[in-house]
Chain A
Amino acid sequence: MMVLDWATAAPAVGAAFVASTVEVVEAFTIVLAVATLRGWRPALTGAVAALAVLAVVVASLGPALNLVPLRGLQIVIGVLLLLFGLGWLRKAVLRAAGLMALHDETAIFERERTRIGTEASGARSADWLAGMAAFKAVLLEGLEVVFIVLAVGAGRGLMLPAAAGALAAFVVVMAVGLLIHKPLAKVPENTLKFGVGVMLSSFGVFWTSEGLGAPWPGGDWALLGLVAVFLVAALALVSVVRPRAVEARA
């Protein structure tokens, strides 16, 4: 039986859990908006259909990834992670500095309710339209979760621990969401997104370096160092650009 080294698995599980929490919260907001407008039947039908599509994507991609040489996989995933992570971190820095509006689940919930309500009003296929809104939301956010699981897990054979992290996030968010029956506005999404941007960018540099044949000294422990460097740099950038937001508001 394979025994996983916790130092190796923990960053993958943690990154997958935190990143997936953000995505599942966003998907839940739309599904809840649909459910409060048209009932749970179209909301759950759309969500379950999207989960089925995602299962097909994962079942097709998983075996295909085994055919790609490890170094090639590390480069492709590393570069995609860098693009995704730096983009995410850029937005997080701008939000933290006050240069971009904060992500607000309650506002998104109200906006989506209005949009779906307008689209569905008078339409004979109102439930179909509402179900499609839930389908799209779960599919789009779910694809991001699939990418994150692949990205943090595939380079080291940690797909299962990363998938377990994502599944745990899904279970926790759904359980809390269904219990309180409101958008999960109290989840500190902006802080989580900042952390996820830092982690994804760090994984991106780590995997790309490994793929290029230029591994970091210290092996997997170097990830912690990369996380620290990205975190300090991102916080420094926040303090540099924050005055611009103050000037813009003045």
Chain B
Amino acid sequence: MTSSTSTGRYAVEADDLRKTYRTGRGRPPVRALDGLGFAVETGTVYGLLGPNGAGKSTTVKILSTLSRADSGRASVAGADVGADPDAVRHRIGLVSQRPSSDPMATGRENLVLAARIQGLSRTDARARAARLLDRFGIADAADRLVRTWSGGMARKLDVAIGLVHRPQVLFLDEPTTGLDPEARAEMWAEVGRLAGDDRMTVLLTTHYLDEADRLAHRLAIVESGRVAVEGTPEQLKAELRGDVLQVELDGEESAVRAAGLVGTVAGVTSVLREGRSVRARTDAGARVVPVVVSVLGEAGIEVTSATVARPSLDDVYLRHAGRSFGAVA
């Protein structure tokens, strides 16, 4: 580990990244990144969380040398992405949002080609391909053309291709988008193994809160091209003391009225309505629930359900981004 490729404490460091896209003549440029920065400790899973267009994918593109930042500095696995992209490319694996295998080749051929490009010998490339096919449980399909594979299997192959050269840092750009629940659970288990058994650093982007909560050791909520808040999922949730009260109503109109009334109850802060439900933060859920139900009952509003829960990442997101995650994702 004392080679020139050792990365020290942080496997990924991004500092004050800025990037603006021109969108065409007469239209204003789009600011994709606006001073984004974060650091990922070696051997951990780091989640970048945010809605589409927040800047997650642009960040991954810059860190994986696909794109250049207008300003700012970033290093991955000990190499500067702007000054030494070739070194970075040897040390990273990229699993992009879209399927990245060649549909007209078999799974095995895809893996062997990727390994050969990374400099493995023919023998090593074949052995590595066989190992990965086994590990991901896709060995049975290995010699069929990828275009005949299911989406979940092809996604596993994408990850296997990203791992073929034992990268130090793996970028997973929305790895479970479009997968069925079973394939999603398998992918989660696999990502957990990467950081655990393989001591690999994983940078994960997602717009699923439960995915970030489950997989990431630390995460950053990205909003409008900058990091809105950063920490471990537990820290972020603990920051929100108290409980979340959620009341479901029989219609949107009554939900609007209910939101106004809930806000007047003592001990309730920050009320938000979404469709037929009203969410509110409170310091003492158990005491507030009966009060809220009776207040709404007196006003003639029918309550379908009222629940109290510990804050979720959605509430963290709500607080920092000023809007509910589900409403924008």
Question: Do A and B bind?
Answer: no
Q: Which residues of A contact B (CB under 8 A)?
A: none
Q: Which residues of B contact A (CB under 8 A)?
A: none
